Amino acid sequence: LPQLQLLILEDAPGSRKALRENYDNLLNVADYCCSNYTQGGLKALEETKQFTTQSLASVAYQISTLASSVLRLLDAQTHQLRGLESSINLIGQVSQTTESFKCNH
């Protein structure tokens, strides 16, 4: 595989792990906010909004980064397939030319 594809494939498990960690962190934040809300009222609500906004922004960034990596991988594979298609077409043309040459001689 080309170097870009290898890099993307190597990054994918790390990105997945980061999303998993974010999931766990979001659960912890939710637990904290629930227990805090019953004790703190309005202040807890504002804190919860801030945590939620920060967490969602972080998750959105990680998903965007992972999606960009997947798109780069797909682009690289498309480029590779186009190269293979060109090679196959050339082989077909050579084969036809060879057959024509044999028939004429």
At 46, the amino acid letter reads: E
Q: For the residues 46-73, what does the mean pLDDT come to?
A: 86
pLDDT (tens digit per residue) in 29-40:
888 877 877 777
Share of the chain above pLDDT 70, in %: 97
What is the arithmetic mean of pLDDT over 77-90?
91
What percent of the chain is helix, strand and coil (3-state, nearest 5)? 95, 0, 5
d(CA 105, CA 83): 33
105 has a pLDDT exceeding 70 = no
Q: In the prediction, which pLDDT does 1 show?
A: 60
